Amino acid sequence: MRRGLILTLRLVLAAIFLYAAYSKLRNPWLLFAMSVDAYHLLPEWAVLTLARTLPWCELALGLLLLTGLLLRQAALAATSLLVVFFGVMLRSYVKGLGIDCACFGLGEALSVKTLLRDGALVISSAALTVLSFRGVKAPDHAGRSPVPASHLV
């Protein structure tokens, strides 16, 4: 059952990250930069850097989750990224900023619906992270893992 849950969570999260990357990469990056800038959190140079690199990071995370390679690291990175996204969105919503969330490209207003969806993504990703680390023992002093690789998902 644990393996099935891990597989389901990682495939769902992979699809979401891949779609998020696709929706941003198909449009000019400056449009995404304008959405990022609307949050009023970063200086211009950071907005431009984030707008150029974030979709590629989402693509890489999506591919890692899809394949299951470096699952623990990918799950932890996905959870960290989603927590930051959720915190920024929650802050902006509480401040009453009427902006696009920029989650899946342009045109999706920041709302209770987007907060609930992204909250569910944070919970799902955190569950995947916990499940991927559970049961894995530290390597012995010679650097060998006590858990055979076939037992790691």
In tens, the pLDDT along 21-31 reads 999 999 888 98
Q: How many residues does the chain have?
A: 153
pLDDT of residue 143: 54
150: pLDDT strictly greater than 50 = no
State pLDDT tens for residues 37-96: 999 999 999 999 999 999 999 999 999 999 999 999 999 999 999 999 999 999 999 999
105: confidence class by pLDDT, cuts 50, 70, 90: confident
Hey, CA dihedral for 65, 87, 119, 24, is it positive or negative? negative
147: confidence class by pLDDT, cuts 50, 70, 90: low
140: pLDDT strictly greater than 80 = no
pLDDT of residue 103: 87
Domain boundaries, the chain: 2-134
HEC string of the chain equals CHHHHHHHHHHHHHHHHHHHHHHHHCCCHHHHHHHHHCCCCCCHHHHHHHHHHHHHHHHHHHHHHHHCCCHHHHHHHHHHHHHHHHHHHHHHHHCCCCCECCCCCCCCECCHHHHHHHHHHHHHHHHHHHHHHCCCCCCCCCCCCCCCHHHCC
